[in-house]
Structures are given as structure tokens and as C-alpha cells.
């Protein structure tokens, strides 16, 4: 993907924009060597379907299996570094009066890249909470029990992420919907745009007549309705977009 591939119309729209919203999915962390959600099931986990494993039912049925899966993913995330795509978005937030990064990812890589104007729609794998009262637990006594018991009430601890069938954090979803409804340019980066309600945020932007942009090496079902479909890896496309924007300012 070369600089000239980025349509001057998109640069013009960004130059004129007061408000930008960006939705990201697992694809933006692919170049940080974190497998995307559907690829995540490699090796030991190849025989499980993530949409089956990331559920309250799976945790009730086999809490150790689910806890161990998240431990495996925590280790993947701990070894990962933000990539140029994460860093470009951290820069982009400084260029607009209003900017919100809406991530479906639970890997903290946006925060580690320096993004501050951010909502996490699906929680964060680094946080652990009590499965009974939802209270976040920062530490617990050493135990050979897996999952460990909550130090406050003894119920099982679980990752502080949103499982399928669970509601999203109200403040995060409200903030995301507001940003999508009011933005001049909406980006959908590294997401297969399948999981709801995140996948519907683009419609709020379109209803507000925003310019919409997809960044994905594999066009999604939404590719034929966006204003610009940038078919490339976000770790290359976003830095080039940022360079073109800064050159035009």
C-alpha cells in the first residue's frame, strides 16, 4: 500500500473534520502477534469455538478450562508490544477537537501505545473480577485452586471481560454510540464487523452522514457501504494515513 493509494478526498475530509470516531477489533493487534479472535484457537485450543468458550455457560460448565484459556491469552498479551497501527491512532487523537477510540479488544495495547481517549466495549483481560458481585479484584492469596476464590466472598474469580450473552458496560456503549452519532469521519479498523452491538455503530455514523472508512486487508460485508475501503494491514495503512494528513495540514 503506497501513500498515493490514500484518496485525497479522505485527506480533505479529515482536514475538515472536527470529530473522529474509530472502532477497532482484533485485526489491529494481529501485527503485534496476537492472533485474531477467530485465529486465537490455535494449538491447545484448536478444538474449541471462542464464541462457545467466551460465555457464562462455558464458565459455569468448566470454570478451570475457561480460566486457563484466559491465562493463555493473558500470557500472549503480556509478550506483545503495540504496533505502528496502535501508535498512529494514539497520534491521531491529538489532531481533532473531538476524538474517541472505541475498542472491542481486551489487550490494553491501545493504552500502552499512548491512547487516552478510549472506551473498552468488551472489558479488559488484565482485570479480574468476582463472578458473584462483579467487584474487580486486584490481588488474591496464593492458592492451588483454579479459578481462585474471591478473597471477599469465596465465589470464583473470572476475567473482567464481556462474554457473549452479557451486556456491555453502559458507560462505554453510551459513549461509543454518542461518538459514532456525532462524528464527521468514522473508521472501522481490523474488525470482521460481526459481533453486535459494536458492528452496528457504523450505522449511527452513516445516519449522521459521516464519511466512513474501513481498514482491513480482507474487505468485510460492510466494505461495499463505506465511503473509503483501505485494503491493507492497519500497521501500514494507519501510519501512511497519518503521514499524508500531517503533510496536508
User: Contact positions toward ligand BV8, by CB under 6 A?
Assistant: 25-28, 30-31, 36-38, 51, 54, 104, 106, 122, 161-168, 190-192, 194-198, 215-218, 220, 233-235
- Catalytic: which of 110, 122, 152, 171? 122
CA atoms within 13 A on the CB side of 237: 23
In the complex, least distance from residue 141 CB atom to ligand BV8, rounded to whole angstroms: 26
In the complex, least distance from residue 207 CB atom to ligand BV8, rounded to whole angstroms: 17
In the complex, least distance from residue 165 CB atom to ligand BV8, rounded to whole angstroms: 5
C-alpha to C-alpha distances, 104 to 36, 96, 197, nearest whole angstrom: 12, 22, 10
97 vs 218 by CB, closer to ligand BV8: 218
20 vs 28 by CB, closer to ligand BV8: 28
83 vs 150 by CB, closer to ligand BV8: 83
d(CA 37, CA 135): 26
156, β-bridge pairs: 149
Q: At CA 125, angle to CA 138 and CA 73, rounded to 5? A: 125
Active site includes 86?
A: no
C-alpha to C-alpha distances, 82 to 113, 120, 166, nearest whole angstrom: 6, 16, 28
Residue number, nearest CB to ligand BV8 = 27
Which residues are catalytically annotated?
Answer: 122
Amino acid at each position: 500500500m503506497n501513500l498515493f493509494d490514500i484518496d485525497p478526498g479522505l485527506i480533505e475530509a479529515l482536514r475538515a473534520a472536527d470529530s473522529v470516531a474509530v472502532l477497532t477489533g482484533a485485526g489491529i493487534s494481529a501485527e503485534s502477534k496476537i492472533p485474531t479472535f477467530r485465529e486465537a484457537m490455535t494449538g491447545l485450543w484448536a478444538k474449541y469455538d471462542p464464541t462457545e468458550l467466551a460465555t457464562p455457560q462455558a464458565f459455569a460448565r468448566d470454570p478451570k478450562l475457561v480460566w486457563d484459556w484466559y491465562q493463555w491469552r493473558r500470557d500472549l498479551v503480556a509478550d506483545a508490544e503495540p504496533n505502528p497501527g496502535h501508535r498512529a491512532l494514539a497520534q491521531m487523537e491529538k489532531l481533532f477537537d473531538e476524538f474517541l477510540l472505541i475498542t472491542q479488544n481486551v489487550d490494553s495495547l491501545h493504552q500502552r501505545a499512548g491512547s487516552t481517549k478510549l472506551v473498552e466495549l468488551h472489558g479488559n483481560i488484565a482485570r479480574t473480577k468476582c463472578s458473584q458481585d462483579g467487584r474487580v479484584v486486584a490481588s488474591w492469596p496464593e492458592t492451588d485452586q483454579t479459578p481462585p476464590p474471591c478473597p471477599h466472598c469465596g465465589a470464583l474469580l473470572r476475567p473482567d471481560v464481556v462474554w457473549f450473552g452479557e451486556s456491555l458496560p453502559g458507560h462505554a456503549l453510551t459513549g461509543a454510540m454518542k461518538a459514532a452519532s456525532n462524528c464527521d469521519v468514522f473508521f472501522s479498523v481490523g474488525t470482521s464487523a460481526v459481533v453486535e452491538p459494536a458492528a452496528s455503530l457504523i450505522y449511527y455514523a452513516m445516519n449522521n452522514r459521516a464519511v466512513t472508512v474501513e481498514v482491513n486487508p480482507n474487505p468485510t460485508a460492510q466494505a461495499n457501504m463505506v465511503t473509503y475501503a483501505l485494503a491493507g494491514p492497519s500497521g501500514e495503512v494507519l501510519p501512511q494515513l497519518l503521514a499524508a494528513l500531517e503533510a496536508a495540514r
